[in-house]
Amino acid sequence: MTFWMMLAYVYIPVIQKQLDVFKTSVWNNHRIRRQRQKKLPTRIPDHIYMCPDKHGGEKCGFPVTDEDLQEVAELSCALESTDDFLEDFRQECARHIPNTIQIEPDQAANASLYLKDNFDQSKF
């Protein structure tokens, strides 16, 4: 179980970073083709979102302030537990690999093996 948690500590930030890049640079910028018998907008998703009036739609969103987000977070208790791991486990991982955001996909396997070899399991 501990090694699976170590893998999650290393790989989840790596995968999330790659998903964010894909969403921004590929998915939301690809051209959607016209589909027969479908009344859906065509073109690039980001452009459709930013200029709905040019695609037969209307802007339905509304601004959300930081205060709104804070109020919802407090009402939902979402900020009470923000860690995916036990705090002691996260601290032990961070002692060996403090910044997982800097790990590139081709380094993730070595990083997880390094963590496995240097992690003090006697604490858990």
CA 105, 110, 112: angle at the middle one, nearest 5? 90
Residue appearing with tokens 């989840």: 12
**pTM exceeding 0.95:** no
How many angstroms separate the CA atoms of 32 and 39, rounded? Answer: 13
- pLDDT score for 104: 97
Number of other residues whose CB lies within 10 A of the CB of residue 90? 14
List, for residues 20-69, the tens digit of each pLDDT value.
999 999 988 888 888 888 887 888 888 888 899 988 888 888 899 999 99
Angle between helices 2-25 and 87-96 (to 10 degrees): 70
Q: Among 37, 76, 78, 32, which Cα is nearest to 55's?
A: 32
